[in-house]
Chain A
Amino acid sequence: MNRARDDILARLDAARTPRVEPPRPPTAPPGMDDPPAFLRARLEEAGGRLQMAAARNWPDEIEWPLDRTAVRHLHSALPIVPSRGLGLDATTDRELDGLEICILRAEFAVAESGAVWQVPSSPRERVAALLAEHLIVVVDATEIVATLHHAYQRIDPARSAFGWFLCGPSKTADIEQSLVLGAHGPRTLDLIVTNA
């Protein structure tokens, strides 16, 4: 198989184009006036919902996607809401199918993109975020950056094997361009922006 590698590299060498200097490193564009408002607008366009709440007791302040008291299966990465049902008992990742709510913490939000950067603390957390019907993501109000340029200045690629930007719930428009939320993953995404 190394023959293939050497062949390809040789072909690329033979086809070498005139050297072009790297462009100036992307300069981060100027920040924006009101990042939280921008974040809310973009997130709502993406089918998500933004709620502001106090860090101390956000679970009591927000509007939940389901009747909170009736939720049986919940996976939570935050101690303020304890996991229960499948979120607690599942022995394999596949058993998380049937999860009603998954709660995650994001490192920061990107206003211009309506997205959050999230690094699952375990492979299971990622599976929970995909199989749950509803996703709740919590981010600190002080952790909102303007654009993806600012975002990548904060992302350390060596930290983890996996990380993702999430922007609204799973969605599709593959049938006559009509938007449907909940294509494969969560049907709703609530972004909780918490203040101290």
Chain B
Amino acid sequence: MGHVERAARFVADPERTRWHDEALWHVRTRRDAAARLVPDWEDLREQAAAIKRHALGRLPELWQAFETNASRAGTIVHWARDAREHNEIVYRLLQERGIRRVVKSKSMLTEECGLNPHLGKRGIEIVDTDLGERIVQLRREAPSHIVMPAIHLRRREIGELFEREMGGPKGIDDPEALTALARRDLRARFLAAEAGLTGVNFAVAETGGFVVVTNEGNADLGTALPDLHIASVGLEKILPKQGDLAPFLRLLARSATGQAMTAYTSHFRGPRPPSPAAPPDRPGSDGRRDPELHIVIVDNGRSRLLGTPAFREALACIRCGACLNTCPVYRRSGGHSYEATIPGPIGSVLETARDSRTHAELPFACSLCGSCSEVCPVRIPLHRQLLAFRESISSDDPHRRLRRWGLDLLGRVMLRPAHYERLGRWGRAFARRLPGTWLEGLLGPWTRHRSLPTLPSRSFRELHRERVKARAAREDGR
């Protein structure tokens, strides 16, 4: 099943499609309003893009500096070439400490690596704590948006889910009440967790620290209590200096949701000191051990993308989701139609760059309107990259010979006006006898919802000839 078929499933519910479209467009307008309040917005975008270009040009130095500075602060640094290594490192850290209960805040990288099933299969209970992520986790589906994971669902569906999974009252669908229910359920899980996993929004080479942002505070609750914090970070997330955070943090929340800033913007640098108030017979905050901070640096195809000049720029992405919110195709087809960890324009670029065979359709799920490139806070030329993908994918199109043959034939007919006219006459006569929907699906998805206009009985040339003849007759009559 391709993007078109999956999108068809989404749009089969017109009410949901309309709501999805409007809700995301509303987020886009909030982004515009927030950007207008920042007088140097365009300078900020340029500055952020320049910092990323610079950083991506010296990743080896930056990560080595990060490693040195992080280790100095007491953070333990791990390296993972691919998803499997990442998952094994995380599992080993948990297993060595006998940990069974883990809370996780939103991290697209761990989604990409398939960490949850990996740990789940090995008997570790992993709870997603971002409300949207918890909802899709309980539904056993993937997030449909990178910032708003459950944007494809309506309140009633969430009510039914919570009724089943959290013992909520029947018919509950008020967002306030639903959130309160989840808060109570998750608070208990935070208090019981033995380790907290997070992603990383920005790592800073100069300090060996990193920043995690959330609105819910779930990354903080998940790491403030347990003694083990494991953060997973993709190779592209590093910035040289602490001061570089300023332009990115001014751009990030405004681009994502139209907020001036997220509620929590947490700066970690080394494990927290042991809690001094713990009684002497119970060292550590929960009586087990000193707090630990681990960070896993993950490649998983990123170095390959870096070596592809055309798509290197996509590594500048800060995962704000602005390109999803503005995309006319994403808004109307839903995130699941992309069947990719990251949907929307940036997902179509990253996933196709990773595996162009599986995702060959995604560059075509685009109207080339260019809105994504306009809103991107780090100025990734998304629509141009999608166009470049189309070119490289089309060059190994299996129907290439058929197309060539068709165009050759058309060329030959066009060169001979008499043939052209005769074929036109036959074609019109023939097509008028067919049902109006004859074109439907004939040439693939493109013609599925299109039909030709009713063909006239005579061509323009015929009409013109008659007109000239009629005028000549009139003039003769005078």
Q: A interface vs B, CB < 8 Å?
A: 1-2, 4-5, 7-9, 11-23, 25-26, 29, 42, 45-46, 90-94, 97, 110, 112-115, 122-124, 126-127, 130-131, 147-149, 151-153, 155, 157-158, 160-178, 180, 182-185
Contacts and interface: CB of A to CB of B under 8 A. Distances in A.
A168 B247 contact: no
A123 B272 contact: yes
22 contacts: A9-B63, A9-B64, A12-B303, A17-B56, A26-B243, A93-B275, A97-B191, A113-B249, A115-B265, A122-B275, A123-B291, A130-B220, A147-B246, A148-B245, A148-B246, A152-B243, A161-B272, A167-B262, A177-B23, A183-B179, A184-B216, A184-B218
A172 B262 CA distance: 11
Contacts of A160: 269
Contacts of B39: 29
B78 A1 contact: yes
Given A177-B26, A182-B183, 11 more contacts: A4-B80, A12-B60, A16-B57, A46-B263, A91-B278, A97-B191, A114-B261, A152-B246, A167-B265, A175-B135, A185-B217
Given A22-B240, A152-B245, A167-B265, A114 B260 contact: yes
Interface string B69-90: 0000110001111000100010
A185 B266 CA distance: 14
Interface residues of B, number: 105
Interface in B64-122: 64, 73-74, 78-81, 85, 89
A172 B249 contact: no
Contacts of A13: 60
Given A29-B39, A124-B277, A184-B186, A171 B235 contact: no
Contact of A174 (B132, B249, B268): B132
Given A25-B243, A26-B244, A92-B278, A184 B190 contact: yes
Closest 5 CB pairs of A and B: A15-B307, A23-B50, A174-B132, A185-B217, A183-B216
B252 to A, nearest CB: 11
Given A1-B79, A12-B306, A166-B264, A29 B225 contact: no
A169 B40 contact: no
Interface in B30-78: 38-40, 43, 47, 50-51, 53-54, 56-60, 63-64, 73-74, 78
B439 interface: no
B318 interface: no
B285 interface: yes
B148 interface: yes
Interface stretch (B150-158, B419-427, B448-456): B150-158
B148 to A, nearest CB: 6
A87 B217 CA distance: 20
A12 B260 contact: no
Interface string B275-299: 1111100100111000100000101
Contacts of B277: 90-92, 124
B261 A46 contact: yes
B265 A161 contact: no
A161 B269 contact: yes
B265 A175 contact: no
Contacts of A171: 215-216, 263
A174 B246 contact: no
Given A4-B80, A12-B306, A183-B131, A23 B221 contact: no
B351 interface: no
A165 B215 contact: no
Nearest to A19: B57
A131 B186 CA distance: 12
Contacts of B73: 161
B464 interface: no
Contacts of A148: 245-246, 249-250
Contacts of A169: 263
A126 B186 CA distance: 18
B13 interface: no
Interface string B10-28: 0000000000000100110
B209 interface: yes
A86 to B, nearest CB: 12
B168 interface: no
Contacts of B250: 112-113, 147-148
Nearest to B77: A5
A175 B150 CA distance: 7
Contacts of A167: 259-265
A71 B297 CA distance: 45
B398 interface: no
B67 to A, nearest CB: 8
A127 B59 CA distance: 35
A73 to B, nearest CB: 15
B224 interface: yes
A25 B241 CA distance: 10
Interface string B194-234: 00000000001011010000011110110011000000000
